[in-house]
């Protein structure tokens, strides 16, 4: 994120509520699968290079899982690519399609690496803000949308693609079918590729369903869907992701993967395949890990929101995902930030919390382009998918830190 921040984290070893991962283990059937694969001494192939497109068993499982979600057949041999995390899929997309000067549209606030990946290839990020269209402060993430005229104005003859992060990181906004249809219509009009980044697809908290862009009429032919295996099974350290879409779009990514890393590690792919096969049979039942993930994460979200509300922190209720955008401006006068030298308010608070309280959250400034940053407010992004015991500890730290002192007026 930044060298000073990372150095402080290494020095103080704080509780991490900045990064998007849980502090509990993946499901047992996934761990059992990896144990079985690594203990296998009868199939030498399990320990050598996989097919550069991905292990065939895993590609078949991905296709079988995804077909009912987007309501069409997926060719596991031609329309699925396994990558080293979802981030590699995004990097391969950029290397395959973006030339210097090409423009890539995405919404802000945005996942930090988007801008970095695009600029590395000489691309030009074009940002369209998510905001409330009535000018009111958002109470929940789905209060946010985009101005249709602003989005339409972002398209021109230099536009190569649009990236849609659904649900949005960091806000937790889940895009509606109407919003996605409008985006698709603009892409058809301007012949633009769509990257549908759906790493948080299973973290949906009731009400509005998760809508997949590739499922909408006419969108398959121009859409690459990117998925995180790590977010799917709560194990981002395994670095498994995938992309699916039409062969003519996906082939360049496959060639790029082969040229750069040869293949994704075989044992973890096979273990993922075995676990996905279990989940395919359990899909839409109460035995499904994906159902548990949504239900359990919603309870954690609600607990976090209750803590923040009791403290007087403004927080945008996420409708999906695993982050909460929090604004401490109303209560930041209860602590002394005078020794923090960083002029960016979010960084001041984040760095102080690491040094003084052993708690690490990400500064909100990170998720906006320079011309949209608001350094008058103390905004942090927090990840809430933690054990109840750790949430108890976080609650104690936050409430003790920002408690109203007896002599306060």
Same domain, yes or no, for 237 and 308?
no
Same domain, yes or no, for 59 and 94?
yes
Specify the CATH number for the domain of residue 324. 3.90.1150.10
Task: Say how many CA atoms lie within 13 Å of 162 toward its Cβ.
Answer: 27
Same domain, yes or no, for 253 and 321?
no
Q: Determine, yes or no, domain membership for 408.
A: no
Specify the CATH number for the domain of residue 40. 3.40.640.10
Residue 199, domain extent: 28-282
Average pLDDT for residues 247-252, to the nearest whole number? 97
**8 Å CB contact between 30 and 275:** yes
Same domain, yes or no, for 234 and 293?
no
Q: Determine, yes or no, domain membership for 150.
A: yes
Q: Determine, yes or no, domain membership for 295.
A: yes
Query: Which of 282, 310, 334 is the C-terminal boundary of a domain?
Result: 282
Same domain, yes or no, for 311 and 272?
no
Burial class (CB in 10 A: 0-12, 13-18, 19+), 100: exposed
Q: Across the beta sheet with 80-83, what order do the strands follow?
A: 80-83, 241-244, 223-228, 193-197, 159-165, 103-108, 124-129
Tens-place pLDDT, residues 27-71: 999 999 999 999 987 889 999 999 999 999 999 999 999 999 999
Same domain, yes or no, for 191 and 151?
yes
What confidence score (pLDDT) does residue 374 get? Answer: 64
Q: Determine, yes or no, domain membership for 151.
A: yes
Query: Which of 213, 247, 282 is the C-terminal boundary of a domain?
Result: 282
Same domain, yes or no, for 278 and 293?
no
Q: Determine, yes or no, domain membership for 406.
A: no
Query: Which of 225, 255, 282 is the C-terminal boundary of a domain?
Result: 282
Tens-place pLDDT, residues 68-122: 999 999 999 999 999 999 999 999 999 999 999 999 999 999 999 999 999 999 9
The residue that leads in pLDDT, 243 or 403, is: 243
Cα 16 from chain centroid (whole Å): 17
Number of compact structural domains in the chain? 2
Q: Determine, yes or no, domain membership for 407.
A: no
**Single pTM value for the model:** 0.95
Name the β-bridge partners of 241: 83, 228
């Amino acid at each position: 994120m930044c060298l000073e921040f990372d150095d402080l984290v290494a020095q103080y070893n704080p509780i991490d509520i900045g990064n998007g991962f849980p502090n509990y283990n993946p499901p047992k059937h996934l761990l059992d699968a990896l144990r079985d694969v690594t203990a296998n001494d009868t199939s030498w192939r399990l320990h050598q290079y996989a097919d550069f497109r991905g292990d065939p068993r895993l590609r078949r499982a991905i296709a079988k899982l995804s077909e009912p979600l987007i309501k069409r057949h997926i060719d596991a041999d031609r329309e699925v690519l396994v990558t080293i995390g979802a981030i590699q899929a995004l990097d391969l997309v950029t290397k395959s399609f973006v030339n210097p000067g090409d423009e890539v549209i995405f919404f802000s606030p945005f996942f930090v690496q988007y801008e970095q990946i695009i600029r590395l290839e000489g691309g030009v990020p074009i940002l369209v803000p998510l905001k409330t269209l009535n000018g009111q402060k958002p109470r929940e993430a789905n209060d946010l949308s985009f101005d249709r005229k602003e989005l339409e104005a972002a398209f021109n003859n230099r536009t190569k693609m649009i990236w849609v992060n659904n649900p949005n990181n960091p806000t937790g906004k889940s895009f509606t079918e109407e919003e996605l249809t409008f985006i698709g219509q603009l892409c058809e009009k301007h012949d633009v590729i769509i990257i549908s980044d759906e790493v948080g697809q299973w973290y949906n908290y009731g009400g509005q369903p998760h809508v997949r862009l590739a499922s909408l009429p006419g969108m398959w032919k121009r859409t690459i869907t990117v998925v995180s295996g790590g977010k799917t099974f709560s194990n981002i350290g395994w670095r498994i992701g995938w992309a699916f879409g039409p062969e003519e779009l996906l082939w360049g990514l496959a060639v790029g993967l082969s040229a750069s890393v040869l293949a994704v590690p075989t044992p973890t792919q096979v273990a993922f395949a075995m676990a996905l096969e279990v989940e395919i049979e359990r899909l839409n039942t109460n035995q499904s890990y994906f159902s548990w993930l949504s239900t359990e994460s919603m309870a954690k979200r609600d607990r976090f929101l209750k803590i923040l509300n009791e403290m007087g922190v403004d927080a945008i209720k996420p409708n999906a995902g695993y982050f909460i955008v929090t604004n401490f401006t109303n209560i930041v006068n209860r602590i002394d930030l005078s020794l923090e030298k960083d002029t960016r308010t979010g960084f001041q608070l984040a760095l102080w919390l690491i040094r003084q309280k052993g708690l690490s959250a990400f500064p909100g400034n990170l998720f906006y382009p320079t011309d949209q940053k608001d350094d008058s407010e103390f905004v942090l992004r927090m990840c809430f998918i933690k054990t109840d015991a750790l949430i108890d500890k976080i609650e104690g730290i936050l409430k003790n830190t920002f408690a109203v002192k007896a002599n306060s007026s």
